[in-house]
Amino acid sequence: MALTETMAGAGRVAPPRRGLWRLAAITPASPYYWVRLLLQNPAVVVSLVFLLVILLMALLAPVIAPVDPTFVDPGDRLEPPSSTFWFGSDDLGRDVFSRVVYGARISLLVGITVMVGAMVLGSLIGLVAGYYPRADTLLMRIMDGLEAFPSILLALTIMATLGPAVENVIVALSVVYTPNIARLVRGTTLMNRQQTYVESARAIGMRDFAIMRRYIFANSLSPLIVQGTFVVAFAILTEASLSFLGAGVPPEIPTWGSIVSGGQPRLQQAWWISVFAGAFLFATVLATNLIGDGLRDALDPRSRKR
């Protein structure tokens, strides 16, 4: 009897357990597990959509902007928002909407390139300082010296030396935010350098560069990605501050900071000059910070348990 039931059951195929399959698809072993966790956060999804719109606006600025952002028409000065001037016009008759659209180009360019520059330079310094104790003291004391200056003051000092230009703003802000990345990578390097797998790699004769690239830097990517998003936000905000103070890019290039600065003396008479550019600046920095918070929660298992 038992043998008959066993043979009959062998011909059946168990139905798939859809609930278990779905759980298995989002287990931590999945390479896209953190991406799925990230997309489950509504604030991150909204922020990603907004930044995508800003990116498309910057790329398609010549198509979206109705007029040249530097075109001056004194007859249309200080026009309020209307169907002709969506965001109004400034005291020189320039279209504020066109200037805001083109200003997105500078903000995103500065933010992304500063992040890349600071991450590359800071990662190299942090890896060398954390892996070689003899180099640690010299390199990190230099980083401490840079961090002793307020970020905006250090950026102003570098800009005063190099002169106003977009590439100089990128260089200045890359130097400003390199110490933060270097200190982060150094901390993870000090922790990973003592692990068993690193000692095993040394025992089989693997070179230091290969160990740092394959075992140490790879384990530093998660916090580095999170820190990179905050560097983008801080770089955009600092560039706007430099432009507001007149020490950023040349005055003829429209940026959100320079637009806010130009409208500040006429804030009561023509509020639209500063408000629209300031709103885009605020929303972009906020969206970038929310993405950074979401990445931290998705990549850090300890934050998910809280």
Would you kindly state where each structural domain of the chain is located, as residue ranges? 36-60+89-305
Interatomic CA distance for residues 163 and 143, integer angstroms: 24
Between the two ends of the chain, the Cα-to-Cα distance in Å is: 54
Q: What sign has the CA pseudo-torsion 206, 210, 214, 219?
A: positive
How high is the pLDDT of residue 15? 46
Q: Which pLDDT value is given to residue 114? A: 94
If DSSP codes are grouped into helix, strand and coil, which group holds residue 89? Answer: strand
pLDDT, residue 195, reads 80
pLDDT (tens place) for every residue of the chain, 306 residues total? 444 444 444 444 444 444 433 433 444 445 566 677 777 888 889 999 999 999 999 999 889 888 888 888 888 888 888 888 888 888 888 899 999 999 999 889 999 999 999 999 999 999 999 888 888 889 999 998 888 888 888 899 899 888 888 899 999 999 999 999 999 999 888 888 888 878 888 888 888 788 888 888 877 888 888 888 889 999 998 988 888 888 888 878 888 888 888 888 888 888 988 899 999 999 999 999 898 888 887 776 555 555
Interhelix angle 96-131/256-263, rounded to 10 degrees, is 130
The SS3 of residue 95 is: strand
Q: What is the pLDDT of residue 10?
A: 45
Residues 6+ apart with CB under 8 A from 112: 232
Q: Provide the 8-state DSSP code for 29.
A: T
pLDDT at 301: 57
Which CATH fold would you assign to the domain 36-60+89-305?
Answer: MetI-like fold (1.10.3720)
Cα–Cα nearest to 103, from 145, 141, 69: 69
285/51 Cα distance (integer angstroms): 10
Helix intervals (H) in the chain: 2-10, 18-25, 33-39, 42-59, 61-64, 96-131, 133-147, 151-162, 166-193, 196-203, 208-211, 221-244, 256-263, 272-299, 301-305
